[in-house]
Amino acid sequence: MTKKGCCENMSQQTLQTVTVALVIVVVAAAYLIGFNMGKMSEGGSIMSDGGNVEVLKGVAGKGSEDAPVLIEEWSDFECPFCARFYQQTLPQIEEQYIKTGKVKLVYKDFPLSFHATAQKAAEGGKCALEQGKFWELHDKIFDSAGAGQKPTVDNLKAWAGELGMNTGKFNECLDSGRMATKVQADMQEGQQKGVRGTPGFLINGELISGAQPFENFKAIIDKKLAE
């Protein structure tokens, strides 16, 4: 009888231990699910590098997902007309339309063959996107163009460090050339949609070519908003 009672007590203790362990597992799982859902609501995704849904999708975009007007920009980091758009027109589009939730801008690559640094710069942009730093590098490249600095491989790597990227990851990405196919895909998409040079834009599907003044963009954006 004594032995039987001992075994019964041990079985009860084992059952209690397993039950407690299961409760701990369930509570921990619920906590993690709640934490990750919170991260998704804050940043749009769960990423160790502080990225968002667009980083996961490989899209370089800015503006509200719900914006009624989409501007797709095909650009070349060594193109002086692209730099002019960045300096003169984009700030006004940002202030009046992107920040107010009316426009979303998506950047796509269209490196021209006669620009020696454009291809690697485009790849560098996509490498930066992996770390959630695309727009920082984008701005750095075009700002540096005004100072006569081209986006050479050495400069791209140096700028990545200045912008707080993981330089080991960035350098490996850039040197490997693994972003070349994604750059090519951007170019092919642009060509299929009628882009023949840089900068080229589609505003809700309507093509506009060149670094045109803000007033020309405004006219088309306002028309699309009114539709």
What are the tens digits of pLDDT across the range 173-184?
Answer: 999 999 999 999
Sequence letter at residue 96 = Q
Q: Which of residues 188 and 38 earns the better pLDDT score?
A: 188
Tell me the percentage of the chain whose pLDDT exceeds 90: 73
Q: What's the predicted TM-score (pTM) here?
A: 0.76
pLDDT tens-place string over residues 48-60: 233 456 776 778 9
How far is residue 116's CA from residue 121's CA, in Å, rounded to a whole number?
Answer: 10
How far is residue 14's CA from residue 18's CA, in Å, rounded to a whole number?
Answer: 6
Token pair, residue 68, equals 């009624």
The pLDDT confidence band at residue 199, using thresholds 50, 70 and 90, is very high
- Contact call for residues 76 and 82 (beta carbons, < 8 A): yes
Closest CA to 198 of 190, 215, 206: 190
Residue 56: per-residue pLDDT: 66
Helix (H, G, I), strand (E, B) or coil at 203: strand
Cis omega (within 30 of 0) for bond into 80: no
Q: Which of residues 147 and 131 earns the better pLDDT score?
A: 131
